[in-house]
Chain A
Amino acid sequence: MRPAAPLLGASLLLALLFALSLATGGGAVRLAEAAAAFLDPGDDLMHMIVRTIRLPRTLIAVGVGAALGLSGALLQIVTRNPLASPGLLGVNAGAALAVVALATLTAAPPAAATALAACIGAFAAGALSHAIAGPAGTLRLILAGAVVTLLASSLAALLLILDMRAMANSRLWLAGSLADRPLALAWVLLPPLAALASLVIAAAPLFAILMLDEATATGLGARVVLVRLGALVLASALAALAVALAGPVSMVGLVAPHLARAFVGPRPGRLLPLAALCGALVLLGADILARIVLAPAEVPAGVLTAAAGAPLFLMILRRHGRERAA
């Protein structure tokens, strides 16, 4: 298959889902009507809903999904671990804990402060998982991440139980819901997220040296340590921004890279752009479903991705064991 074909296909699919997302929800709009909301804007209520509620929500889903897909792909490359992803390494839960802690301190923290807190939480949790797993373990790393996730989410739950106001504000966010996210936050956080994502995609071929074994890479004069550190920092920052926007959405960071790898193989130069697109597709698809399955009620998109991703996690785990046994 030509390398551009999957990219093109995924982009087309994303455009289709984008349009569908604008047209789905309470008081469904036909596609033509959704288009009219932009081409021929009027004061009619439906047009307003499409422009001011569904468009930002769709953009958030695309941005967050792409960030999680990229973050997962980077982490899988750096740790050489097919199960690595921001959700499973505790990075998401750490970021969420920091955001919750900030929310209990001040009523309406500025968006930049939220993002910064998320980054700090993400780095700390990721570092803790790594420190406990030690250098040897691939599966140990995932287990440490699972327990760090449990610890961080229990702490977050405790903070929220003690602070009813913060609980009311963050309950849906913590379940990974894209409904009613504050627009101010989105307009501040989406641009840096897009910038980081473009940076990672532009630098994608650089990460190929991480796939060589250490001795060879060093022999070639590559700055392995620096590239690895850069990849970890970028992956954590992307996940942190995603969490600040949409909560600890789980499994997108695991699913997207595997989907992408099935089409273009493991080379970072091809894998990373498609992983970003796949992440956006998965989360946007989940968010559209989230509005449909229990309509008129909504399910948090994160609940759907978790339910779909857990079996995949078990499948990868099973395959991983077989490969190691062989």
Chain B
Amino acid sequence: MRRTLALLLLAALLLTVGWLSLSSGTLALSPLEVWRALTGDAAEPAHRIAVAGIRLPRLLVAAGAGAALALSGAILQAVLRNPLAEPGVLGVSSGAALGVALSHAGMLALPVLPAALAGGFVAVAIILLLAGTPDPVRLILAGVGVGAAAGAVLSFLSVAAPVLAAQQILIWMTGDLNGATAERAALAWSGLALGLPLAALGLRHLDLIALDPASATSLGLNPRKARLGLIGVAVLLAASATAAAGVIAFVGLVGPHLARRIAGARHATMLPVALAAGALLVTLADLAGRTVFAPVQAPAGIVAALVGAPWFLYLMKRPRHG
């Protein structure tokens, strides 16, 4: 009951924020004007361009990337049995961003999404190799180190690359949705379309692995195989989100934690809430970033970090994660 209410509330909030992002900006529109622009019955061509051409792709990128990041974070938290795991802090997003940047600079002969995937997988492989023990803090720190290495190479590229590529790299590093296109929206949503069914397939494993890997084995599951598969799904989700929206940290942390608080620990009930919460967080961060300081636009990734980093510190401070 509580969960249904929360889901309804989240959906309503998401719709409201979505509507606000479509209507606000330099060209402020009324709800009716937004509706007419969306249905192809715009009063002025400018309305159609602003709403359908600029703001809608941006909204779709934000919602798709946010949902994918939250799902990725939820999977990583369960599989690594680590409440602080999250693609941004673990360096998976930075690895993916590095792949994207290399592809843009012409140093990696792969299209954007495979390049992001390759970067994300390399990052995760290094982390798993380095952090052999199950010490949760050590695992996250290995991720921090990998993220720092990827970030250093990224800033080197941003100096070395031609100006246009350098600018794109800088944009990826801060998670800026300004100028998001329909292609980028397609990137985010195709990752989600692939990752969501796969995550649904692994639902049973998720619950078992998160609670108790030993009993998972006795029930006839192969936790090692399931774990690797699920990590692959998490990387896919984080990489597609990063390819579409850049590095946005902490959404993968805050989304699942909010969801767990609302809907409990079972993944079947918690994941839908996490998806909605993640989508809401990034759309809200983007809306705030472009309206609060208007005419200056603050990247959604920075706004998300300003909210998410204190949350992370708060989670760390709570004694049961010691």
Contact = CB atoms under 8 A, between A and B. Distances in A.
Interface of A: 83, 128, 132-134, 136-137, 139-140, 142-144, 146-148, 150-151, 154-155, 157-158, 161-162, 175, 250, 294, 297-300, 303-304, 306-307, 309-311, 313-314, 317-318, 321, 324-325
Contacts of A150: 249, 305, 309
A162 B296 contact: yes
Contacts of A321: 131-133, 135, 138
25 contacts: A128-B313, A137-B137, A139-B141, A140-B137, A143-B140, A147-B309, A148-B313, A158-B303, A161-B302, A162-B296, A175-B155, A297-B159, A299-B160, A306-B148, A306-B152, A306-B155, A307-B149, A307-B156, A311-B149, A314-B126, A317-B130, A317-B141, A317-B145, A321-B131, A324-B135
A132 B160 contact: no
Nearest to A141: B137
B165 to A, nearest CB: 14
Given A133-B316, A148-B313, A161-B297, 14 more contacts: A134-B322, A140-B137, A143-B141, A146-B141, A151-B305, A154-B309, A157-B302, A158-B302, A158-B303, A307-B149, A307-B156, A313-B148, A314-B145, A317-B141
Given A139-B141, A140-B137, A314-B130, A158 B298 contact: yes
Contacts of A147: 89, 309, 312-313, 316
B76 to A, nearest CB: 16
A154 B138 contact: no
A306 B151 contact: yes
Nearest to B132: A321
Given A157-B302, A306-B148, A314 B142 contact: yes
Given A306-B148, A318-B130, A157 B174 contact: yes
Interface in B48-105: 84, 89
A142 B155 CA distance: 23
A143 B144 contact: yes
A120 to B, nearest CB: 20
Contacts of A143: 84, 137, 140-141, 144, 316
Contacts of B133: 321, 325
A278 B126 CA distance: 29
A140 B316 contact: yes
B249 A250 contact: no
Contact of A162 (B131, B293, B309): B293
Contacts of B249: 150
A279 to B, nearest CB: 18
Given A162-B293, A299-B160, A151 B148 contact: no
Nearest to A250: B148
From B84, B89, B138, B153, residue with most partner A Cβ within 10 Å: B138
A289 B84 CA distance: 37
B316 A313 contact: no
